[in-house]
Amino acid sequence: MDAVLTSISMLGTTMIVPMAILGMTWGIFGGALPGISPSITMALLLPFTYTMDPVSAIVLLASTYIGAEYGGSIPAILIRTPGTNASAATMIDGYEMKKQGKAGEALGISLQASTVGNVIGIVCLILFTAPLSQLALAFKPTSYFALGILGLSVIVSVSEGSLFKGVIAALIGLMIATIGTDPVTGVGRFTYGQADLLTGVPLILIMVGLFAVGEVLEQIATKDDGTVRSDLVTRLKWPSWTVQKKTWRANLIGSGIGVFCGIMPGAGGTVASFMAYSEARRFSKTPEEFGKGSDEGIAAPEAANNADAGVGLIPLLSFGIPASNSTAILLGGFLIHGLIPGPVLFSKDPTLLYGLFTGLLVASAALVPVAFLTLSSSIWLVNRPKPLLMAFILALVFSGAYSINNSVFDLGLVLAAGVLGFGMRFFGMPMLPTILGLVLGYMIEANYRRSLVISGGDNAIFLEDPIAVGFLAVAALFLIGSIVREVRKRRRIKIEREAVI
Amino acid sequence: MDRDLACGLIGTAIALAYLNAAADIPTSALGDTVGAAGVPHLLGYALAAVSVAFVAQRAIALARGKAAEARTGGVFDDPVPAFASAAGTVLICAAFVFLLEPVGYLPAVAFLIFALCVYQRVAINARLALIATGGAFALWLLFAVLLSVRMPAGIWAEMI
């Protein structure tokens, strides 16, 4: 009850409402730009959050994430180019409806499904985060070390095809995390006399470089004839009662799958939206309409990726481990303000999390009016020439990075991280393991060595902590399960190949 | 060269360079049982092992003729022009970083926008110059005026 009253009082006394609306608007615009993912949209905002109070900053970033998930459906429906990976499933029936002259209806269905998915995802987030955090209050250095290892074991499920590449990407992140002052002895490592590196490589600059600069480098390298343009006079139409009766089941299926995938580390919004599309088709009374402009074919994936976005915050808020690129950026937002998400934050500063939950609910409520008001601007943005957009994004990225420490050295780091990001994209390496390595590297090393200092160098200390044993066992199970799945997949591919021959 | 094979070889090279640099980490009198260089050494050897294993797996698959093409797609299907294009963009950005403090924020950002647009084959005309200058001014208003960030004044500070 106290939490509810605190949350309500925060609505009037803080900047939650304007930040939620601003974040939602920025997110819709960012999501609407093809090639600009939710994580890049959020990364562009990070430098601006330095001067804000923590609640405003976190609400702004989280609302941007939610807004971008909806925004991605706009170009998917209008120009057959998904604004985000997760909106690729929406494109299938959305663009078909657009071809039939029903773009407004398709955008309306997408908006309603996004709202349903958002609300369900956020309610799950509120219900599950606090109990999980309570568990983590009993953590010792050994538990944190084991938690870090559990976090790293997620790499196997986010490696997108090649476990080797995922592990290499994670090791690169862990290596970058060793730059700076040693956590136990205070010795400088890989600093080469650079005072800027004594406190380590700022996570935020690496994120901005990897995601934003790396993506822009790839976009500029992509030839675009600019022939796909959208109709500037499309009007968003809220679904009629008949359509709502037809899509409620798809909305619920999508939301349920989104919640499930959000809890599963590494599954993500793209998997959720395609799974939801497939399941909605299976349970539909008119499966033959799928692929030809089905209302349910738009509702299910949109509800799924929006529910996934809300639930995907649980691992970050409960244990401090980001499960996706976007939540990694949100983690950066916390770290900027000296806050470490996890159980301690819950007990130390619960108002921050109440503020975040309230802000997310405000953002969900604001989604419908903001979407109606910003559609014309979104379409205008979708139609901007790519060269101008890319040039302005880079100018914004470098200006923002400079504003953090007024340091040209930081700009060099951002550019270097951008080159690394471009290289990783070229080799088809996933980014998230690198970010996980960067985030978890310090936690793993510092807590491992602190534990050994406590035990006088005896590794058995990890077996004396039941929480650590539990985490390590789960991590081992997770790794074994993933490796078995990988072996089975290879065998299946081999059998299929032999069958073809 | 096969892309995955190259990835593994680059990983091996990074591991060797990292291990070489880790050898220079000083030891501290306060050192614990692991030491400041302990984890870096472990990471270096781990990356070397994984990269070598990746190279071996890929080489065997290629030798048996069972290797599927690395999944990348899009712009990277034709890597040479993609790399050339990215290298040009990086050079422009590096020039911006180099120019920022000597010439000041406004001219440097205007240069960045203008150069990047020209590099992407936007026609050079008065409109583009206006967009670059206007864009730089808008960003200056946002950061220097609205957010009170001290952006470098460069040569303009001395002239005024």
Task: Give how far B34 is from chain A: nearest CA, Å.
Answer: 7
| SS3 assignment, position B12 | helix
pLDDT of residue B106: 93
Q: Is A407 on the interface with B (CB under 8 A)?
A: no
Q: Is the pLDDT of residue B160 over 60?
A: no
- Compute how many other C-beta atoms are within 10 angstroms of the C-beta atom of residue A136: 19
pLDDT of residue A216: 87
Q: Is the pLDDT of residue A411 over 90?
A: yes
Number of structural domains found in chain A = 1
| SS3 assignment, position B28 | coil
Same domain? For B109 and B144 the reply is yes
- Residue A234: pLDDT band (50, 70, 90) is low
pLDDT of residue A464: 85
Same domain? For B83 and B48 the reply is no
Task: Give how far A81 is from chain B: nearest CA, Å.
Answer: 13
Q: How far is CA B118 from CA A31, A314, A386, A489, B123, in A?
A: 26, 45, 12, 47, 7
Same domain? For B89 and B155 the reply is yes
Q: Are B47 and A51 inside 8 Å of each other by CB?
A: no
- Residue B118: pLDDT band (50, 70, 90) is very high
Q: Is B107 on the interface with A (CB under 8 A)?
A: no
Q: In the listed set B55, B71, B87, which residue is the last one of a domain according to the structure?
A: B71
Whether residue A73 contacts residue A107, with contact meaning beta carbons closer than 8 Å, is answered with yes
Q: Is B61 on the interface with A (CB under 8 A)?
A: no
Whether residue B43 contacts residue B21, with contact meaning beta carbons closer than 8 Å, is answered with no
Q: Are A402 and B100 inside 8 Å of each other by CB?
A: yes
Give residue A270's domain range.
Answer: 2-223+232-500
Which one of A263-267, A297-301, B14-18 scores highest in mean pLDDT? B14-18
Who has greater pLDDT, A274 or A83?
A: A274
Number of inter-chain CB pairs under 8 A, A vs B: 189
Q: What is residue A82's DSSP assignment? A: -
Which of A19-23, A163-167, A313-317, A349-353 shows the lowest per-residue confidence on average (mean pLDDT)? A349-353
Q: Is B49 on the interface with A (CB under 8 A)?
A: no
Average pLDDT (A239-244) is 88
Give the closest residue to A357 by CA, choosing from A66, A52, A33, A149: A66
Same domain? For B95 and B144 the reply is yes
Q: Is A386 on the interface with B (CB under 8 A)?
A: yes
- List phi, psi (to 5°) of A388: -65, -45
Give residue B124's domain range.
Answer: 76-159
pLDDT of residue B103: 92
pLDDT of residue B90: 96
Give the closest residue to A269 by CA, choosing from A31, A434, A457, A13: A31
Put simply, the chain A residues between 189 and 218 with a CB less than 8 A from any chain B CB are 189-190, 213, 216-218
Q: Are A164 and B50 inside 8 Å of each other by CB?
A: yes
pLDDT of residue B108: 95
Who has greater pLDDT, A491 or A19?
A: A19
Same domain? For B22 and B67 the reply is yes
Q: Is the pLDDT of residue A7 over 80?
A: no
Q: In the structure encoding, which two tokens stand for residue A36, read together?
A: 């600009």
Tokens 């890597």: give the residue. B79
Buried b (16+ CB within 10 A) or exposed e, A61-97: bbbbbbbbbbbbbbbbbbbbbbbbbbbbbbbbbbbbb
Number of structural domains found in chain B = 2
- Residue A283: pLDDT band (50, 70, 90) is confident
Q: Are B151 and A51 inside 8 Å of each other by CB?
A: no
pLDDT of residue B48: 96
Q: What is residue A460's DSSP assignment? A: G
CA atoms within 13 A on the CB side of A290: 22
Average pLDDT (A11-24) is 83
- Residue A137: pLDDT band (50, 70, 90) is low
Q: Is A449 on the interface with B (CB under 8 A)?
A: yes
Amino acid found at A134: Q
pLDDT of residue A4: 65
| SS3 assignment, position A86 | helix
Q: Are A398 and B112 inside 8 Å of each other by CB?
A: yes
Same domain? For B30 and B91 the reply is no
- What are the tens digits of pLDDT across the range A433-490? 888 888 788 888 888 888 888 888 788 888 888 888 988 888 888 778 777 777 777 7
Q: How far is CA B22 from CA A100, A107, A442, B16, B30, in A?
A: 63, 55, 17, 10, 18
Q: How far apart are CA B7 and CA B65, in angstroms?
A: 19
CA atoms within 13 A on the CB side of A455: 20
Q: In the listed set B36, B71, B106, which residue is the last one of a domain according to the structure?
A: B71
Q: In the listed set B71, B98, B117, which residue is the last one of a domain according to the structure?
A: B71
β-partners of residue A188 are A181
pLDDT of residue A160: 58
pLDDT of residue A412: 93
Q: How far apart are CA B71 and CA A22, in angstroms?
A: 37
- Residue A1: pLDDT band (50, 70, 90) is low
Q: How far apart are CA A237 and CA A104, in angstroms?
A: 5
- What are the tens digits of pLDDT across the range A246-281? 889 999 999 998 888 877 655 567 778 888 888 888
pLDDT of residue B31: 65
What angle, 0 to 180 degrees and rounded to 10, lies between the N-to-C axes of helices A268-283 and A241-263?
130
Which of A138-142, B41-45, B63-67 shows the lowest per-residue confidence on average (mean pLDDT)? B63-67
Tokens 């960067």: give the residue. A438
Q: Which of B30, B72, B119 shows the shortest C-beta gap to A426?
A: B72
Write out chain A residues lying below 8 Å of B7, CB-based: 165, 168, 427, 429
Whether residue A37 contacts residue A211, with contact meaning beta carbons closer than 8 Å, is answered with yes
Q: Is the pLDDT of residue B96 over 90?
A: yes
- Compute how many other C-beta atoms are within 10 angstroms of the C-beta atom of residue A191: 16
Q: Is B80 on the interface with A (CB under 8 A)?
A: no
pLDDT of residue B8: 92
Q: Are B112 and A394 inside 8 Å of each other by CB?
A: yes
Q: Is the pLDDT of residue A56 over 80?
A: yes
Same domain? For B50 and B116 the reply is no
Who has greater pLDDT, A48 or B28?
A: A48
Average pLDDT (A31-47) is 78
What string of DSSP letters covers A366-417? HHHHHHHHHHHHHHHHHTS-HHHHHHHHHHHHHHHHHHHHT-HHHHHHHHHH
| ipTM of this predicted structure | 0.90
Same domain? For B108 and B131 the reply is yes
Q: How far apart are CA B119 and CA B128, in angstroms?
A: 12
Q: What is residue A180's DSSP assignment? A: E
Q: What is residue B74's DSSP assignment? A: G
Tokens 């269905």: give the residue. A109
pLDDT of residue B73: 52
pLDDT of residue A231: 57
pLDDT of residue A253: 92
pLDDT of residue A480: 82
Average pLDDT (A216-242) is 72
- Residue B126: pLDDT band (50, 70, 90) is very high
Write out chain B residues lying below 8 Å of A402, CB-based: 100, 149, 151
Which residue from B minimizes the CA distance to A392?
B113
Same domain? For B67 and B127 the reply is no
Write out chain A residues lying below 8 Å of B31, CB-based: 185
Q: How far apart are CA A409 and CA A196, in angstroms?
A: 8
pLDDT of residue A139: 73
Same domain? For B96 and B59 the reply is no
- The dihedral sign for the CA sequence A91, A95, A98, A102: negative
Q: Is the pLDDT of residue B22 over 70?
A: yes
Q: Are A406 and B96 inside 8 Å of each other by CB?
A: no
Q: Are A428 and B150 inside 8 Å of each other by CB?
A: no
pLDDT of residue B80: 82
pLDDT of residue B149: 79
What string of DSSP letters covers A291-353? TSS-HHHHHHHHHHHHHHHHHTTHHHHHHS---SHHHHHHHHHHHHTT---SHHHHHH-HHHH
Share the mean pLDDT of chain A. Answer: 82
Same domain? For B93 and B66 the reply is no
Write out chain A residues lying below 8 Å of B148, CB-based: 51
Q: Is the pLDDT of residue B136 over 60?
A: yes
Give the closest residue to A176 by CA, choosing from A145, A210, A142: A210
Write out chain B residues lying below 8 Å of A221, CB-based: 75, 81-83, 85-86, 89
Same domain? For B45 and B120 the reply is no
pLDDT of residue A185: 80
Q: Is A279 on the interface with B (CB under 8 A)?
A: no
Q: How far apart are CA A397 and CA B143, in angstroms?
A: 12
Which one of A70-79, A177-186, A371-380, B109-118 scores highest in mean pLDDT? B109-118
Q: How far apart are CA B39 and CA A171, in angstroms?
A: 11
Share the mean pLDDT of chain B. Answer: 86
Write out chain B residues lying below 8 Å of A396, CB-based: 139
Q: Which of B25, B46, B135 shows the shortest C-beta gap to A395?
A: B135
